[in-house]
Amino acid sequence: MKRSTAFRKLFNEPGLIIRPCAYDALSALLIEKTGFDVVGTTGYGIAASAIGQPDIGLVSFGEMLERIRTIINSVSIPVDADIDTGYGNALNVYWAVKNFAWVRAAGVRVEDQTWPKRCGHMAGKQIIPKDEMIQKIEAAIEARDEEDPDMIVGARTDARSVAGLEEAVERGTAYAKAGADYVYVEAPQSLEEVELLLKRIPAPLAFNLIPGGRTPPFPVGELERCGVKYVSVPMVCLYAATKAMMSALQLLRETSDVARLGETGVDWSAFNEITGSRVWRQRELKLLTEEELLRRYETTEIDEIERKEADETEKQWGK
């Protein structure tokens, strides 16, 4: 089954979907290994990890496409891609969606901010006219239908923070009628607002939850009770990884004790398991000649290779 087909099937089933977001291939891989059904991508996290800068429109279309391609290739579950504003007008959106379909994105979401955009929880946002956004949605759907009719197209509005709740309702309704598979309203301020949006916008609704962001920390169970379909958690990997790296670096700076760094994260064997070292060894044994394998390992048996590697590691560390 195509990943876009699996994603649409998931979207059509009852219940709330949780969308943890990845900023690179490793974080995507961990999301899949933890058992989630879909990986989202975070422009905020990609800006931080790719160029070390804030999410204010500094990452180009090509850079975003390449990073999301690597994320898609690292997992087998659907990847729902944040494609910002589509990087221009409706023509740019059309071209962007075709490209994301070509790299097998299961879904895309486009937003109604001006370009360059900024993170939805930052001050200083601006939004384009509603009719211009409708053109973008129509362009996205046209490109989707040409390349992968099962791809999910989401439409995001940042109107709540810029122009108020009523404008968010009006835009969300218009985007749903334009054919968006779901509408993502950025930063509602209460569960009462969420319930109002659910009542008035004729499409499945999505929201995101960011620790310290503009959206209150709504309990996911309450959102599901209200009827919310889709909840993104964009920073679940990024913020945790940042804190862990800072702690490890601080330990190294203060103690210079490399051995103690093993206490701050996974070890050699666990990390190799995460990144599929054994799978690649099996592939190596299948594809390389016996002569080359013997030169490398002095054996052609994977268990023997791994035992020898473990013995060498144990000897090195005296365990």
Alpha helices in the chain (DSSP H): 3-12, 25-34, 43-51, 61-74, 90-102, 130-147, 159-163, 165-177, 191-200, 220-226, 238-255, 268-274, 277-287, 290-297, 302-317
Predicted TM-score of the model (pTM): 0.93
The tens digit of pLDDT for each residue in 274-306 reads 999 989 988 988 898 989 988 988 888 878 887
**DSSP letter, residue 17:** E
The phi and psi torsions of 109 (rounded to 5 degrees) equal: -130, 135
Q: Which residue has the tokens 């949006």?
A: 197
pLDDT for the residue numbered 315: 59
How buried is 68 (Cβ within 10 angstroms: 0-12 exposed, 13-18 middle, 19+ buried)? Answer: buried
Tokens encoding 210? 């960011």
pLDDT for the residue numbered 319: 47
Nearest 5 degrees, angle CA 13-CA 18-CA 22?
Answer: 130
pLDDT for the residue numbered 269: 85
pLDDT for the residue numbered 120: 87
Structural domains in the chain plus CATH codes: 3-234 (3.20.20.60), 266-319 (no CATH)
pLDDT for the residue numbered 304: 84
CA–CA gap between residue 192 and residue 185 (Å, rounded)? 14
CA–CA gap between residue 49 and residue 219 (Å, rounded)? 28
CA–CA gap between residue 295 and residue 62 (Å, rounded)? 42
Q: Which residues of the chain have pLDDT under 70?
A: 310-319
